[in-house]
Structure 1
Amino acid sequence: MRLLLIRHGQTPSNVRRLLDTAAPGPALTPLGERQAAALPAALADERIGALYASTLLRTQLTAAPLAAELGLEVRVRAGLRELAAGELEMRGDGAAISTYLSTVFAWSAGDTGRPMPGGETGQEALARIDAVVAEAAAEGVTAALVGHGAAIRMWTAARVRNAAVDEIGHRELENTGVITVSGSPAEGWRLERWTGAPVDAEGPGAAVGPAGETTDELPDTPTA
């Protein structure tokens, strides 16, 4: 089967480059609304049979145009929520973002017992995402999962066999960018395609936020 892992549309916190992971979270910017509205056309060739979103407002708003076009119910699942920033919540400084992303990709590399400062461990994060993926896979149809930048990138790097952790860390995931994987929980997953946003989001005001940024230009993370 195939999974379409879709990052939500742009939010004000993305523009401000903040680690905004708590529920219910912000709504979409005007650009984010255009991105969401463009998803049905961008995915018109897909035979989507199930549609999921997280408990955060931005994913449900992103999924709404697709649900309306397909006549599908949006299945809201807490397991798809963003990786909790814990003590780093609502920070946008380089040290906080570096700590957050280095922890996220340490989980992908196998250090799943490492906790986010004041937050969950990789074991907990992977388990909740895996549970939703297993539910979607049991449907036996192409499923679209609208989630969050860090959660999608972390899970892809950890669970997709032809996606190396370093490679995912160096790849940006734009708002409403789509990662397509195929396979199953039992046999494993393979990366098919990594596409950008359906609406051109380059230029001023097009920030994707720290959860979707590459790790290339982050400052070194303190090891204390």
Structure 2
Amino acid sequence: MRLLLIRHGQTPSNLHHLLDTAVPGPGLTDLGERQAAALPEALADEDIEAIYVSTLTRTQRTAAPLAAARGLDVIVRDGIRELSAGALEMLPGDTEQGALYMKTAFAWAAGDTELRMPGGESGAEALARYDAVVAEAVDSGARAVAMVSHGAAIRVWTAARAANVDVPFAAAHPLENTGVVILEGSPADGWKALTWAGAVVAPAGEGGPAGWPVVGDAP
């Protein structure tokens, strides 16, 4: 299956670099609405057969123009919501305490899944809920699925599950709002990242460290 993981459009909390992960969360800024409106054209060449969103308002607002353009209903699933910040909720992400959020999340992707976010979920719990929604999409028989999700969740899940994306790459490459990671595979066969925010991702062992993009734009 071809899997498109799309970060939501800009929110007010993004502007202030806040760890805003609670449900239902804020809507989109004016720029975020424009970013969402641009998705149908940006993804015009993708034969998307299903669109999943999280339980957070911002993903649903982001997906609405794409769903309307494709004549598809969105499928709401809690499993692809943002990694819960727990006790770090609404702290600035650019502070020492805020930095603990991504440090913990990338430790999950590196295999320390029993580690728990302060006051929140463990890596095993976070990855399991995301895995369940991806497995549901694969089992649906759809050939290409878009999931409008969240920046940390997309980066951590991809680093944990894609054979050719490692933690250093995911940590060094934040996704901008409405940035897209495209993968192919299945839970049984494994996943390979094809593009990350438009850059082609090299196969593991080719072109340098796993997950570093090849020079040039994606086809």
Please indicate, yes or no, whether the TM-score normalized by the shorter chain is above 0.5.
yes
The 1-side partners of 2:136 and 2:18 are apart by 31
Match runs of 1:160-179 below 5 Å:
160-179=162-181
| Superposition CA RMSD, Å | 0.8
| Deviation at residue 97 of structure 1 after TM alignment | 2.2
Q: Which residue of 1 aligns with 2:63?
A: 63
| Cα deviations by residue, 1:100-149 (Å, 9 ceiling, x for unpaired) | 00000000000000000000000000000000000111123200000000
What secondary structure, in the 3-state scheme, does the structure 1 residue paired with 2:175 have? coil
After the TM superposition, which of the residue ranges 176-185 and 89-98 deviates more from structure 2? 89-98
List 4+ stretches of structure 1 deviating above 6 A. Answer: none
Q: Which residue of 2 aligns with 1:100?
A: 101
The 2-side partners of 1:96 and 1:6 are apart by 27
| Cα deviations by residue, 1:189-209 (Å, 9 ceiling, x for unpaired) | 00101126xxxxxxxxxxxxx
Identity, in percent, stands at 65
| Cα deviations by residue, 1:79-118 (Å, 9 ceiling, x for unpaired) | 0110000000000051122100000000000000000000
| Cα deviations by residue, 1:15-73 (Å, 9 ceiling, x for unpaired) | 01000000110000011000000000000000000100000000000000000000001
Partner amino acid, structure 1, of 2:97: A
Q: Which residue of 2 aligns with 1:9?
A: 9
| Cα deviations by residue, 1:168-189 (Å, 9 ceiling, x for unpaired) | 1000200000000001110000
Partner amino acid, structure 2, of 1:30: D
What secondary structure, in the 3-state scheme, does the structure 2 residue paired with 1:22 have? coil
Q: Which residue of 1 aligns with 2:72?
A: 72
Match runs of 1:118-197 below 5 Å:
118-140=119-141, 141-195=143-197
Q: Which residue of 2 aligns with 1:213?
A: none
Q: Which residue of 2 aligns with 1:113?
A: 114
Q: Is the 2:109–2:157 Cα contact (8 Å) retained in structure 1? A: yes
The 1-side partners of 2:197 and 2:140 are apart by 24
After the TM superposition, which of the residue ranges 92-101 and 112-121 deviates more from structure 2? 92-101
Partner amino acid, structure 2, of 1:29: T
Partner amino acid, structure 1, of 2:78: A
The 1-side partners of 2:174 and 2:149 are apart by 15
Partner amino acid, structure 2, of 1:25: G
What secondary structure, in the 3-state scheme, does the structure 2 residue paired with 1:25 have? coil
Unaligned runs of 5+ in 1: 197-224
What secondary structure, in the 3-state scheme, does the structure 1 residue paired with 2:20 have? coil
The 1-side partners of 2:84 and 2:157 are apart by 14
Partner amino acid, structure 1, of 2:131: D
Q: Which residue of 2 aligns with 1:217?
A: none
What secondary structure, in the 3-state scheme, does the structure 2 residue paired with 1:55 have? coil
What secondary structure, in the 3-state scheme, does the structure 2 residue paired with 1:48 have? coil
Q: Is the 2:151–2:174 Cα contact (8 Å) retained in structure 1? A: no
TM-score w.r.t. structure 1 length?
0.86
Q: Which residue of 2 aligns with 1:202?
A: none
